[in-house]
Chains A and B, each alone.
Chain A
Amino acid sequence: MMTSPLPYQDEKAPGAADFYFAINATFRFVEQRFGDAGLRRYWTELGHDYFAPVTERWKTRGLPGVAEYWRAFFAAEPGAKVEVVEAHDVVRLEVKACPAIGHLRTHGRAIAPRFCQHCYFVSEAMAEPTGLAVRVAGGNGSCCQTFLRRDATVPEQDLSQIKEAA
């Protein structure tokens, strides 16, 4: 049983910001080769498979575990300005400054237009087996991501609510 909210540990904190270049380039490559549906599939399988240890922790810790994870996660992301708000039956990530978009923009990189959608597809895949859902609004540098209990009253994610990155 892992004690840290993060499933994988490193000796350095925070991570190396230039790796955002590779994340962005990977999304672009997968979309070019497999189209929009293939990119969504990549994100969903990444969420289900690679992030399975996070899902396991959320199953036992519930929404407090979600908040713990994202606090630890953004503490290790260089340049992140994110407030993690725990309210009644909801955890909200108020992303004031997205570390990835900020670094890519600072270095003049062309950002994959659907970059911000990965936050929905990856997190939804992580959350779904735990009975939770995520809904994302905003993007392109700042957004709000709401984790809440999955039930019939939760509307489907409206992808038009996630801005294209530029």
Chain B
Amino acid sequence: MIGVYDFNGHYEWTFAWLQRRGGLKLLREYWDEAIHRDAQRHAANLIRRKGIKGMQAYWGHSLKQEGGSHHTTATETVFRLDMHDCPSKGFLIRNQLQQYADYCDHCMGWIGPMLRQAGFVIDHQHNHAGQCWWEMRRASDTSPPSSPGELSGNHDVRLGSNWKRKNHDLDSYSRANGPNQKKSQA
């Protein structure tokens, strides 16, 4: 049996298996079809119906179950997630598992299309070391992402000394809904 205690390990292994067989196209279809529309359909339904309150409910449940360390901030117009210690990426780092180039892309791979359907866009950065931040706003809201500390105060992951590490370039997304919209920066 394959189980959930090491789910992130065989999930990440599967990314590379799919990419070898069908390239990035197949892998992105997997994130959208299998993860967004099938496995995480409860999240999609909740967020489509309740918007930001649905995001609070979904990530409140899932991140409590998965562990790690994070902080969420919600207003009437934006949902922000500061991930300080990603349980998934952390598992891979601790166990020295890497088959696919950037595991962190899978989040945008399923969350991006899910929020597009719900009418939201995403500003996001990850540092490949288990830290990232997300801001989700209505697509009609053209506000730029917050400056560090503006929305989540001291919980803002960008204020931490570990945010920009040597050899861990930041990947950035602006008003995105898919992994093909990534911009890398040194």
Chain A residues engaging chain B, CB cutoff 8 angstroms: 6-26, 28-29, 33-34, 42, 45-46, 49-50, 73, 76-78, 98-100, 107, 118-119, 122-123
DSSP class of A's interface residues: helix, strand, loop or mixed?
helix
Complex interface: chain B residues within 8 A of A26 (CB)? 11, 14, 30, 34, 39
> A12 contacts which of B11, B13, B67 (Cβ < 8 Å)?
B67
Chain B residues engaging chain A, CB cutoff 8 angstroms: 1-7, 9-11, 13-14, 17, 21-22, 26, 30, 33-35, 38-40, 42, 62, 65-67, 87, 90-91, 94-95, 97
Let me know if A17 and B4 touch, CB within 8 A. yes
A23 to B5, CA, bound (A): 12
Task: State how many angstroms separate the Cβ of A20 from the closest Cβ of chain B.
Answer: 6
Complex interface: chain B residues within 8 A of A42 (CB)? 14, 17
Let me know if A8 and B2 touch, CB within 8 A. no
A71 to B94, CA, bound (A): 23
> B1 contacts which of A22, A45, A49, A119 (Cβ < 8 Å)?
A119
Let me know if A18 and B94 touch, CB within 8 A. no
Complex interface: chain A residues within 8 A of B38 (CB)? 21, 24-25, 28-29
Complex interface: chain A residues within 8 A of B90 (CB)? 11
Let me know if B1 and A19 touch, CB within 8 A. no
> B2 contacts which of A9, A33, A46 (Cβ < 8 Å)?
A46
A108's nearest neighbour on chain B, judged by CB, is B42
A7 to B97, CA, bound (A): 11
Q: Which 4 A-B pairs have the closest CB atoms?
A: A15-B4, A76-B5, A25-B38, A15-B5
> Can you pick out 13 interface pairs between chain A and chain B where the beta carbons lie within 8 Å of each other?
A9-B94, A10-B5, A12-B66, A13-B5, A15-B3, A15-B5, A16-B7, A23-B2, A73-B5, A77-B3, A77-B4, A99-B4, A100-B3
Complex interface: chain A residues within 8 A of B6 (CB)? 6-8, 10, 15
Let me know if A78 and B2 touch, CB within 8 A. no
A145's nearest neighbour on chain B, judged by CB, is B1
A10 to B22, CA, bound (A): 31
A25 to B9, CA, bound (A): 16
Let me know if A8 and B13 touch, CB within 8 A. no
Let me know if B1 and A122 touch, CB within 8 A. yes
A28 to B29, CA, bound (A): 13
A45 to B20, CA, bound (A): 13
